[in-house]
A and B are shown apart, each in its own frame.
Chain A
Amino acid sequence: MTRFSAFSLFAKALGGHQDWPEQWPDAAPKPAYDAIIVGGGGHGLGAAYYLAKKYGITNVAVLEKGWIGGGNTGRNTTIIRSNYLYDESAHLYDHAVKLWDGLSQELNYNVMYSKRGVMMLAHNVHDVQSLQRHINANRLNGVDNEWLTPEQAKAYCPPLNISPDARHPVLGAALQRRGGTARHDSVAWGYARAAAALGVDIIQNCAVTGIRSGADGAVEGVETTRGYIASKRVGVSAAGNTSVVMQMAGLDFPLESYPLQALVSEPIKPTFPCVVMSNTVHAYMSQSDKGELVIGAGTDQYVSYSQRGALHIVEHTLAAICEIFPIYRRMRMLRTWGGIVDVTPDRSPILGKTPVKGLYVNCGWGTGGFKATPGAGDLLAYTMAKDEPHPINAPFNLDRFRNGRLIDEAAAAAVAH
């Protein structure tokens, strides 16, 4: 691997950039691997990297049906935060945030993690109670999150409208300063390059069509569009397509896949310094390094794999953005796109073992998977390497849907009286 640095960039520039090597080789599948990851998004590539880096399993293949990072990794609004309410969630997401810090250096690939702060707005008394509960729980969990008055919120994010006459006035905000954004594509490519350098095969245009298991029920390998590949350890990290893959192993999952839209504005000069989220008004926004306002829209209400969302979702999202940030009413929407998000009944992920021996799963991240990328990759790798979950992901098992131990963050922010 050619080390990336200002120096190498300078040296290669003098040669007209003619001798940059491939960032990762275009591998063809071998007949067998020690571990296979199904799904070449950030989570899957991260799992492959950590398997090789931390757990010494380097004979690993990542199977991607299209091009790596082409699913939700490349279709999200890149928000990173860990100010979750429940201990289980806070530990899970904070594990990821700790890995985000320093990831560029670890991968020798600038993933542009920018701790610009994530601010969540409170618009009514119930929101205030809910966010203060978050702040208090986060504080005792060692996760930074602080309360801002409307004036402090406006000072942190000047475009914010804090007029008390607004339809949904801002009563305050919770700010996680370590929260922020990263560049989504770079995360996938950085993990791919670093994993490949450790011996991982990144195999694109290779769709899994079947999961083969032996007489004892344990996984033996996967059928793919590029032939059968043997492995006794298969980790599925296929986001919206998880149900389809799990069906191949005869497993029905508590998942539904919905279209989620996002959009960007035309690029403008720096105007928006942080990430702002409002659950009550349904608006999420940040500004990318390129200058685009990056806006998260809602999900459509029906199960779909079409990556084609409806206009009224976008209309509502932009109305919400213009309510909170009226100075952007004249800005223009440049591009919209859709991802497929897999949602569990409690809207928390499933990360762990499955009833099939040797088959592991990482799914159900809903609209919040990007922020967890390094953590999910690391924990999936741990679980596959040890054949048991790490204490951090142990609560995010499949059993909870049977025994009722749900981790329902959204329910905790329940609608008021």
Chain B
Amino acid sequence: MILIHCPYCDEKRPEIEFANAGQAHVARPLDPSSQSDEEWEAYLFIRANPRGRHHERWRHVHGCGRFFNAVRDTVTDKFETTYKAGEPRR
């Protein structure tokens, strides 16, 4: 069970307090109706799924309830950093 640092609580807590929320920085288009089918498909479904450095979202669902972003290596499962939603991509 991995340990995750919640940037809002500023504490490392066990994974079972958190819910993974998929790839990070997949912003919802401001005007979805202007999107082509391809663009909308990319927003909905296309994911990076990298072997290595991965930007992902977590929610501290059994803690403060906040969504935040993380950079984690998907081969070692080790976190590089976590940061608050809205902060620039790291």
Tell me the A residues contacting B by CB distance below 8 Å.
241, 243-244, 252-257, 301-306, 308, 310-312, 342, 345, 401-403
Contacts and interface: CB of A to CB of B under 8 A. Distances in A.
Contacts of A252: 42, 46-48
16 contacts: A243-B49, A243-B50, A244-B50, A244-B51, A252-B47, A254-B45, A256-B22, A257-B49, A302-B77, A303-B49, A303-B56, A303-B74, A305-B74, A305-B75, A306-B77, A308-B77
Contact of B1 (A312, A402, A403): A312
A306 B78 CA distance: 10
A244 B40 CA distance: 22
B54 A303 contact: yes
Nearest to B21: A301
Q: Which of B1, B16, B47, B54 has the most CB of A within 10 A?
A: B47
Interface of B: 1-2, 15-16, 19-20, 22-23, 37-38, 40-42, 44-51, 54, 56, 72, 74-77
A234 B19 CA distance: 38
Summarize A's interface: helix, strand, loop or mixed: loop
A305 B54 CA distance: 11
Nearest to A406: B45
Nearest to B4: A302
A265 B72 CA distance: 33
B51 A306 contact: no
B87 to A, nearest CB: 20
B16 A312 contact: yes
Contacts of B75: 304-306
Contacts of A241: 51
Given A302-B72, A345-B45, 8 more contacts: A243-B47, A243-B50, A244-B49, A252-B42, A252-B47, A301-B19, A303-B49, A305-B74
Nearest to A346: B45
B31 to A, nearest CB: 19
Contact of A255 (B42, B49, B54): B49
A401 B45 contact: yes
B85 to A, nearest CB: 17
A242 to B, nearest CB: 8
Nearest to A344: B45
Nearest to B1: A310
